[in-house]
Amino acid sequence: MLKINSFSKTYAGGVKAVDDLTLHVEPGDIYAFIGHNGAGKTTTLKACAGILDFNEGEILIDGVSVREDPVACKKKIAYIPDNPDIYEHLTGVQYLNFISDIFRIPPVQRNERITKYAELFEIKGNLGDVISSYSHGMKQKLAIISALIHDPKLWLLDEPFVGLDPKATHLLKGIMAERCAEGCAVFFSTHVLEVAEKLCNKVAIIKHGKLMASGTMEDVKGSASLEEMFMEVTENDHEA
């Protein structure tokens, strides 16, 4: 589903954010991407989403190169940033309709999906309000709904649980598991290691742009907890 091969990204200031990263996400995977602040998680996710240009390596989504055919790749993915930058001057429903128009979702289907997810996330009553009046959590819920409307094969989520209430967090975890059971994949960054440990079948740990460990949850953490493993890997620079 997602193949990142020897990906490197150096910013204009000369800082190498990601260095020779190789990582494969298969259909059905819920793949956690963990690391310190500034480790390169967001850079990687943005490059996968086609937001960021990169210098070296290759990123393929469902066999298509993000560099060569970004539009085709973006049709298959949904990206949710860590801080949902949604048009604050629009109402919730105007924003969802905008995204639906971009993905050319037929009216009946879009209404059905908007209703379903808005009810699930309990923001149906707020869809007519302007987004600037939403709380951070409500914006996050709206961003999640907009990422579900076009039924993407791959979800790229940057800190998706930040700002969500416990019920919405539970719901999101359920949707992630449900979608992966249907053959889709989720690749997301998080600092909540307990969630990653319970929810994900695979995990990757990144430090200073370099991949320190990756693979199935069991292989990476062994008999220790993910937190212990993370602390050991990031503090001792052990190569996995």
Partner 1 sequence: MKLNEIFLLFRVQLLGFFGANQTKKVKASGGKRKPRGFVYMAVISALAMLYFSTQYSIMIAMSAVGEGAASPKTLPLFMGFTCSMVVLISTLLKASSTLFGEGDTDMLLSLPVKSSSIIASRILVLYAMDFFYTAALLIPMGVVYTVNFHPPVSGILLFVVLFFIVPLLPCVLGSLIGTLIEILTARFGRSSLLRNLLSVLFFVAIMASSFSISSGSPERMAQMFEKVCGIAVKIYPPLQWVADAFCDGSVVKFLLFVGVSLAVFALFCTVVGSRFKQLVGFVGAKKSGRSYKLSADKNGSPFKALYRKELKRFFTSNIYFMNFGIGMIMAALSSIAAVVFRARILEAFDERTLLLARGVPFLLSFFICMSATTACSVSLEGRNFALLRSLPIDAKDLLRAKLAVNLTVTSPLSLLCAVALAAAFRMRALEVCAAVVLPQLYAVLSALLGLMANLRYPMMDWKSEVTPVKQSAPTFITTIGLMPLSIVPAILVMALSAVYPFVVAALAAVLALSCALCWRSLMKNAEKKIRAINV
Nearer to partner 1, 95 or 230 (CB): 95
16's CB contacts (< 8 A; 6+ apart) are 8, 9, 10, 209
The CB-of-99 to partner 1 minimum distance in angstroms stands at: 7
Q: Is 103 in the site for partner 1 (CB under 8 A)?
A: yes
- Toward partner 1, which CB reaches closer, 21 or 49? 49
Residue (85 or 235) nearer to partner 1, CB: 85
- Closest contact distance (angstroms) between CB of 233 and partner 1 is 26
Amino acid at 182: E
**40 is an interface residue for partner 1 by CB under 8 A:** no
CB of 103 to partner 1, least distance (A): 7
Q: What are the CA-CA distances from residue 10 to residues 105, 145, 234 (Å)?
A: 37, 33, 21
Residue 118 tokens read as: 């808005």
Residues 237, 206 contacting (CB under 8 angstroms): no
Residue 209 touching partner 1 (CB under 8 A): no
Question: The tokens of 176 are what?
Answer: 């992630």
- The Cα–Cα gap between 153 and 233 comes to 31
Q: 142 or 212: whose CB is closer to partner 1?
A: 142
At closest approach, how far in Å is the CB of 92 from partner 1?
A: 10
Which one of 56, 58, 129, 232 is in contact with partner 1 (CB under 8 A)? 129
194: helix, strand or coil: helix
- Near partner 1 by CB under 8 A: residue from 22, 102, 125, 218: 102
Strands 56-61, 2-10: pairing kind: antiparallel
The size of the interface with partner 1 (CB under 8 A), counted in residues, is 36
Residues 51-80 vs partner 1: string with x where CB under 8 A?
A: xxx-----------------xx-xx-x-x-
| Residue from 8, 42, 14, 20 nearest 156 by CA | 42
- What is d(CA 39, CA 18) in angstroms, rounded to the nearest whole number? 8
**In Å, how far from its chain's centre is CA 146?**
13
Q: Closest CB to partner 1 among 16 and 173? A: 16
Question: Residues 47, 54: contact at Cβ < 8 Å?
Answer: yes
For partner 1, the binding residue among 8, 94, 111, 169 (CB under 8 A) is 94
- By the rule CB under 8 A, 15 interacts with partner 1: yes
**Matching residue, tokens 């993370």:** 230
> What residue ranges bind partner 1 (CB under 8 A)?
11-15, 46, 49-53, 71-72, 74-75, 77, 79, 81, 85-91, 94, 98-99, 101-103, 128-130, 132, 156
